């Protein structure tokens, strides 16, 4: 007998907003040498292909540092770097071109798979490669000639977008041509971030063996601003060429160049890419221009989500019931925390201007987000709002969170201390405890 898979249904429903959000957007992927060599590469490619079927425009830049190192070692050619740039002399460059060409064809063949009983069954992806990036030589630095090593001169965004608009996947090699008819070996991270910036991509995505950036306690850091990412980078050796260091450099550059979000996800955890892109909390690390969470003034359009947030607390008797009509009339008093379109926190300020006093009310945090200091952030926001209104103190009525407010600097008060209008409407049956906090103006 077949049974209803409620977990699948719930997951699909929760991913639906992201499917809509991502459709028509441009994602630039960097497949690092480690990712390409990993045994999970077929799954990674399959998941990327699924994105294309959902209407996402895909550009794939690949790296092959490790493969080049191995090929040079096999040929007994010494590998030389300076300032983290490989010095591609004539002999090295012939091997580099061969390795890059081989990997490019392998990626194209994997994107062309359509076997039955696989995620790519029925997919018909057209893969396009070409002279979309013009290179220039690095030249001579500190007396060292970098020979065939180059940097990006120009990205043909018009040509790439022409292909993307026609549903093609664009694959870019780190071997790029120049206006003189020569070709040069480019750093794949620099190439990918430059392509993402010039295309005004919505996301820059790359992979590593871990779930993301790991902090000193072994936990994944879910979100970083560019300045914070630089602090992590400073902890690494200046000449570090690890996947984490390379990602951070590329992601910081992409973010500062205008790419809203750069993601680092694991290529060893099957499905990590899909979880990162189609769930609210993701699984890896993203470097962002603006946080996925924002505290802002509530709007009428937020009322449905706001009611959904506070209903469990109303049912438990922690908050008093607020009908939709009342919320519509009082929405200007509310601030919310929004995370990717979902209201995960709320608080309200009801001012009593004559008494220079305000009531802090409806402090609520979604159960999945009650760590991370979000309550403190809401209270801080309400206090700032009260100060701007010229209020000297705020108060709160609570039946079950007295210790929480005591810890936040509130002190006990009485009914007689309340503003007259609030005092006249005090619910003696509810017996709420009263706490005040003076504001430093």
**Distance between CA atoms of residues 97 and 111, nearest Å:** 21
3-state secondary structure of 52: helix
Between β-strands 357-365 and 342-352, what pairing exists: parallel, antiparallel or unpaired? antiparallel
Find the mean pLDDT for residues 34-40. Answer: 86
Asked whether residue 235 falls in the same domain as residue 335, the answer is no
Say if CB 236 and CB 242 are below 8 A apart: yes
Residue 72 above 70 pLDDT? yes
Strand partners, 293: 339
Q: Are 298 and 263 within one domain? A: no
Residue 60 maps to which CATH number? 3.40.1160.10
Per-residue pLDDT at 371:
66
Most confident segment among 51-65, 115-129, 360-374: 51-65
Coil, strand or helix at 390: coil
d(CA 331, CA 300): 7
Are residues 334 and 235 part of one domain? Answer: no
Same domain, 193 and 87: yes
In the predicted structure, residue 91 carries a pLDDT above the cut 60: yes
More confident residue, 409 or 238: 409
pLDDT at 275: 84
Supply the pLDDT for residue 57.
93
Pairing of strands 223-224, 285-288: parallel
- Same domain for 338 and 420, yes or no, is yes
Residue 250 resides in a domain: yes
What per-residue confidence (pLDDT) applies to 256?
84
Q: Predicted confidence band at 3 (pLDDT cuts at 50, 70, 90)? A: confident
Residue 328 lies inside a defined structural domain of this protein: yes
- Using the predicted structure, report yes or no on whether residue 143 has a pLDDT greater than 70: yes
The reported pLDDT for the residue numbered 243 is: 63
Asked whether residue 12 carries a pLDDT value surpassing 80, the answer given is: no
Whether residue 350 lies inside any domain: the answer is: yes
* Length of the chain (residues): 441
Q: Is residue 15 part of a domain?
A: yes
200 found inside a domain: yes
Q: In the block, which residue shows the tokens 């070692």?
A: 73
Give the pLDDT score at 83: 80
Residues 280-300 have a mean pLDDT of: 79
Give the pLDDT confidence score for residue 276 in this predicted structure.
Answer: 84
Q: Are residues 124 and 260 in the same domain?
A: yes
* 262 and 301 belong to one structural domain: no
Q: Same structural domain for residues 318 and 215?
A: no
**pLDDT > 90: percent of the chain:** 24
Q: Give the DSSP H/E element, type plus range, for residue 169.
A: strand 169-172
What is the mean predicted confidence (pLDDT) over 387-394? 91
Please tell me the predicted confidence (pLDDT) of residue 214: 76
Nearest to 297 by CA among 288, 306, 307, 286: 306
Residue 1 lies in a domain: no
Q: What is the CATH number of the domain that holds 380?
A: 3.40.630.30
Distance CA 233, CA 287 (A): 13
**Domain shared by 113 and 229, yes or no:** yes
pLDDT of 206 strictly over 60: yes
Pick from 263, 291, 319: which residue ends a domain?
Answer: 291
Q: Say if residue 74 is exposed, middle or buried (CB neighbours under 10 Å; 0-12, 13-18, 19+).
A: exposed
Name the pLDDT band for 357 (thresholds 50, 70, 90): very high
Rounded CA-CA distance 344/259 in Å is 25
Give the chain's mean pLDDT.
Answer: 85
Q: Extract the tokens encoding 164.
A: 């993307």
Domain residues for 410? Answer: 294-438
Determine the Cα–Cα distance for residues 89 and 92; give it in Å rounded to an integer: 5
Quick one: how far is CA 261 from the chain centroid?
5
Same domain, 104 and 62: yes
Instruction: Give the confidence band of 121 by pLDDT, cuts at 50, 70, 90.
Output: low
* Helix (H) or strand (E) run with residue 280 in it: none
**Which of 228, 259, 291 corresponds to the end of one domain?**
291
pLDDT digit string, tens, across residues 306-343 = 999 989 888 888 888 889 999 999 999 999 888 767 78
Confidence band of 49 (pLDDT split at 50, 70, 90): confident
Q: What is the pLDDT of residues 211-265, one digit of tens each?
A: 777 777 778 877 788 888 888 777 765 455 566 777 888 888 888 888 888 888 8
- Please give the torsion angle defined by the CA atoms of residues 396, 402, 405 and 406, in that order, rounded to the nearest 10 degrees: 120
Are residues 107 and 198 located together in one domain of the fold?
Answer: yes
The pLDDT value recorded for residue 120 is 55
Q: Regarding predicted confidence, which is higher, 115 or 35?
A: 35
Classify residue 130: in a domain, yes or no.
yes
- Domain end, chosen from 291, 308, 329, is at 291
Q: How far is CA 120 from the centre of its chain?
A: 26
Residue 419: which residues within 8 A CB-CB, separation 6 or more? 352, 354, 355, 357
pLDDT at residue 114 greater than cutoff 70: no
Tokens of 347: 């608080």
Which of 86, 172, 180 lies closest to 133, judged by CA?
A: 172
Q: Would you say residue 296 has pLDDT above 90?
A: no
How far is Cα 63 from Cα 173, in angstroms, rounded to an integer? Answer: 8
With 80 as the cut, is the pLDDT of residue 373 above it?
Answer: no
Which pLDDT value is given to residue 156?
92
CA distance 23 to 30: 20
- Say whether pLDDT at 63 is over 90: no
Same domain, 78 and 14: yes
Domain count, the chain: 2
Query: What is the model's pLDDT at position 237?
Result: 57
Find where tokens 């001169």 sit: 153
Q: How far apart, in whole angstroms, are the C-alpha atoms of residue 57 and residue 62?
A: 17
37-65: average pLDDT: 88
């Amino acid at each position: 007998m077949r049974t209803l898979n409620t977990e699948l249904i719930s997951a699909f429903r929760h991913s639906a907003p992201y499917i809509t959000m991502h459709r028509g957007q441009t994602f630039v992927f960097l497949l690092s040498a480690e990712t390409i060599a990993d045994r999970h590469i077929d799954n990674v490619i399959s998941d990327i292909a699924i994105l294309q079927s959902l209407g996402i425009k895909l550009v794939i830049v690949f790296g092959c540092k490790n493969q080049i190192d191995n090929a040079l070692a096999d040929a007994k050619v010494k590998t030389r770097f300076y300032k983290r740039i490989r010095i591609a002399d004539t002999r090295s460059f012939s091997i580099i071109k061969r390795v890059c060409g081989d990997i490019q064809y392998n990626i194209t063949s994997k994107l062309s798979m359509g076997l039955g009983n696989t995620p790519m069954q029925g997919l018909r992806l057209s893969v396009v490669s070409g002279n979309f990036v013009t290179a220039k030589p690095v030249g001579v630095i500190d007396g060292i000639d970098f020979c065939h090593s180059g940097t990006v001169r120009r990205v043909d965004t018009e040509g790439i977008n022409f292909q993307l608009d026609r549903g093609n996947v664009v694959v870019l090699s780190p071997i790029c041509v120049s206006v003189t008819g020569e070709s040069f070996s480019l750093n794949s991270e620099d190439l990918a971030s430059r392509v993402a910036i010039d295309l005004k991509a919505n996301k820059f995505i790359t992979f590593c063996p871990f779930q993301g950036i790991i902090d000193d306690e072994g936990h994944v850091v879910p979100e970083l601003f560019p300045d914070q990412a630089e602090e992590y980078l400073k902890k690494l050796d200046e000449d570090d060429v690890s996947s984490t260091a390379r990602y951070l450099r590329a992601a910081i550059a992409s973010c500062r160049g205008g790419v809203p979000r750069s993601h680092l996800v694991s290529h060893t955890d099957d499905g990590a890419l899909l979880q990162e892109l189609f769930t609210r909390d993701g699984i890896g690390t993203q470097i962002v221009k603006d946080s996925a969470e924002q505290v802002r003034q509530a709007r009428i359009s937020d009322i449905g989500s706001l009611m959904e947030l506070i209903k469990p607390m109303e049912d438990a008797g922690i908050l008093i019931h607020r009908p939709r009509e009342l919320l519509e009339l009082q929405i200007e008093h509310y601030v919310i925390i929004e995370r990717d379109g979902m209201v995960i926190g709320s608080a309200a300020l009801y001012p009593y201007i004559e008494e220079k006093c305000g009531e802090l009310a409806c402090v609520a945090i979604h159960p999945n987000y009650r760590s991370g200091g979000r309550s403190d952030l809401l209270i801080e926001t309400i206090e700032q709002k009260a100060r701007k209104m010229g209020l000297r103190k705020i108060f709160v009525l609570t039946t079950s969170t007295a210790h929480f407010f005591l810890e936040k600097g509130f002190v006990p008060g009485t009914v007689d201390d309340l503003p007259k209008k609030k005092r006249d409407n005090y619910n003696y049956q509810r017996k709420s405890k009263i706490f005040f906090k003076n504001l430093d103006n």
